[in-house]
Structure 1
Amino acid sequence: MTVSLVIDIGGTYSRLAIMNQDHQIDHKQTYINYTHASFTDIINKYLNTYKKDLNDCQRCCIAVAGPVKNGYAKLTNINWELKTEKLLQDLPFKQIKLLNDFHALGYCIPLLTAEDLLTLQAGKRSHHHVKVIVGAGTGLGVAHIKQKPTTLEVYPSEGGHIDFAPINQCQIALLQFLMDKYEHVSVEHILSGHGIEHIFEFVCLEHNIKDEINHFDVSNYTAEDITGQKVIQLAIEQRHPLAIEAIQLFSEIYAAYLGNLALHTLPYGGIYITGGIARHILPFLQNETFLQIFKNKGRMSHLLEEIPIYYILNQNANLLGAGYYLTLTTESLVP
């Protein structure tokens, strides 16, 4: 059976797997990027491990966390550069496709089943209308998807870098706080792992708690060195009231941002949320306040009531999308 190698390179980890013609994922492995000198080292280690199972593997699709243009990608959060031409010289594949990670994610949508989705708002789904996929993690990614009669078109974007648009006095104060740190305050400065750290620091300062937060049972942590992951953990475990406040503020900004995206494209095909942050804060996204803020767009609020919102439960979505992209763009491998 012909198989393909599908790869998802993030800022911290690279995930590699084999995908067969039935879109089934096998032999998935995760590698820590910084422990390897280059991406080629990672892929060769994987190929050596599964060489027997890769005899029929001639195609590879690589989804990367960064912009891709003309077969070239410079990763956003690790100092790696990838060139399709060089990869074809160094690796035993006849076809290699390189694309942005959210470009790849967009192609997973046709493969998702009802079991892969958690419905946050049912809306009035129309399969033939535009879809949006968005996810906060190391950064904030966005892509738009259009289903056509014979194909699927996915349009990647840099929608995480648009200006942060506060909707109340608290968020205006947050913007002012961030303007002291950055020349340009994008929404990614908030809706990301580092963004949660910014929000937590802001909340602590608003409560005049700058140095010591040990009395909230988080000994050895301060507002300056606590991580986004730790803030999420403290909020979900309800161990820290300011962590809960920070994640609540994060989710409210996320909801307003999704509402703005919805007004731009009217995605009656659905908004699909992905990313590790959303997975860990689902109780906040399932809160009625989240949907209220999403729909709070004045005269246009009634339109947003009709837009479905889903969270993608399938954690292989990137790999599935990369494999399906190969299926749609298969070139003849005959010399």
Structure 2
Amino acid sequence: MHHATENESLPFPILIGDIGGTNARFSILVDDTSEPIQFPNVRTADFATIDEAIQREVLDKSAMRPRSAILAVAGPIEGDEIDLTNCDWIVKPRALIMELGFDDVLVLNDFEAQALAVACLTADDREVVGTAGEPATASRVVLGPGTGLGVAGLVHARDTWFPVPGEGGHVDIGPRTRRDLEIFPHLEAIEGRISAEQLLCGRGLVNIYTAICAADGVDPSLTLPSEVTAGWQSGGNAQAAETISLFATYLGRLAGDLALVFMAKGGVYLAGGISQKIIPALKQPEFRAAFEDKAPHTELMRLIPTFVVTHPLAALAGLASYARTPGAYGISTQGRRWQR
């Protein structure tokens, strides 16, 4: 078995995949100069395994045979069978090599891919929240409320971007205001604790909404995240409106905490499906107010820009950038790269 050195490029053509809890997106990068060939979005629930999805949705629909694969997956990467946190797929790189004919498979964390994207996104692919200004070439943070809540840091040193993946979506989050203290007792906890992901993801929207209803003594009428955002958009549901306002506040608090941890003078980037849907709410004062409210460092926080990532396929763009120029990124492939 050939062991790759760090930053050794994978052989082209490369299949690039972003495997989330609900959706999987694939493209093929033919060489280091061309734009990726995109394939239609795949719903993970429609296929029993990732192998079947790749075979039917990519390999059967293209004459291009990828030699290697870079897959970003939602979940920690441990061992030869990688469980996805929010869906039933299991990624088995050895099986992909044996059965689908790949020579080389690299598996990264999905928010590592989002961090790679944040290193290379241009102003066209992001929307400013709060104060503008070109972000410094300095540490950055990306957090993404979607099916779950992903978090990654991005450290800049020695002309290289180092993604720092982790499970930052599972940190504790607590009440601060009088209103929080009314609502928090009604939130659904996991083993006695409220983590950020219990509030800042799709099911988190419903969790906040239901708790507001309980605090207000109102029967909840909405059960899906999409219904909560629709109730906010129509302006017809007071509890849904407050849900989105509090969601923006809590997201601002956590974004500010992470900015402090990474001293993210290069900005904080909001990815994930929900951020794009609620941009008008994030542009209201609550998000930035909560973000900056970090005494004794309020002045410092005012200088840190915040953005919503609007690129429709940011993770794929980040992976493609890495595939073209692996030397520009400090990514450890040890234990995460399998070869024929």
Q: TM-score, normalised by structure 1?
A: 0.88
Counterpart pick for 1:64 among 73, 81, 86? 73
Cα gap change, 1:27/1:38 in structure 2, threshold over 3 Å: closer, same or farther?
Answer: same
Shift of 1:173: 3.1
5+ residue gaps, structure 1, are 212-221
Aligned counterpart, 1:236: 233
Structure 1 letter corresponding to 2:276: R
Q: After superposition, what is the alpha-carbon deviation per residue over 1:55-83, rounded to whole angstroms, capped at 9, x for unaligned?
A: 4x312111111111355421011122213
- 2:309 maps to 312
- Paired residue for 2:26, among 16, 19, 27? 16
Secondary structure of 2:150 counterpart? strand
In the TM superposition, 1:191-270 aligns within 5 A as 191-210=200-219, 222-223=221-222, 226-270=223-267
Q: 2:121 aligns with which of 112, 122, 129?
A: 112
Q: How does 1:53-202 map to 2 (within 5 A)?
A: 54-55=64-65, 57-70=66-79, 72-122=81-131, 127-178=136-187, 182-202=191-211
Cα distance, 1:23 vs structure 2: 6.0
Tell me, yes or no, if the aligned pair for 1:127 and 1:147 is still in contact at 8 Å: no
Instruction: Return 169-178 or 230-239, whichever deviates more.
Output: 169-178
Cα 1:23/1:98, change in 2 over 3 Å: farther
Does residue 28 of the first structure (1) align with residue 28 of the second (2)?
Answer: no
Q: Which amino acid aligns with 1:33?
A: T
In structure 1, how many angstroms separate the alpha carbons of the residues matched to 2:56 and 2:314?
23
Task: Give how far 1:273 is off.
Answer: 0.9
Is structure 2 residue 310 aligned with structure 1 residue 301?
no
In 1, are the aligned partners of 2:69 and 2:105 still within 8 Å (CA)?
yes
Normalising by structure 2, what TM-score? 0.87
Residue equivalent to 1:4? 14
Deviations 1:95-117 (A, max 9, x none): 11111100111111233111111
The number of aligned residues is 320
Give the drift of 1:130. 0.9
Describe the SS at the equivalent of 1:11: coil
Q: For 2:276, which of 279, 292, 309 is the aligned residue? A: 279
Asked whether the equivalents of residues 140 and 265 of structure 2 are also in contact (C-alpha less than 8 Å), the reply is: yes
Q: Distance in 1 between matches of 2:161 and 2:191?
A: 38
* Counterpart Cα distance in 2 of 1:75 and 1:168: 35
Change (3 A) 1:120 1:280: same
Task: After superposition, give the CA deviation of every residue in 1:205-244 in whole Å (9 maximum; x if it has no partner).
Answer: 1221126xxxxxxxxxx25xx1111101110121212111
Aligned residue identity for 2:143 = V
Shift of 1:148: 3.1
Relative distance call for 1:123 and 1:30 in structure 2 (3 A) is closer
Tell me the equivalent position of 1:38. 49
Q: Deviations over 1:10-61 (max 9, x none)?
A: 1122111123423623232112222212110000012343331x14x31211
The code of the aligned residue for 1:261 comes to L
> After alignment, is 283-292 or 19-28 more displaced?
19-28
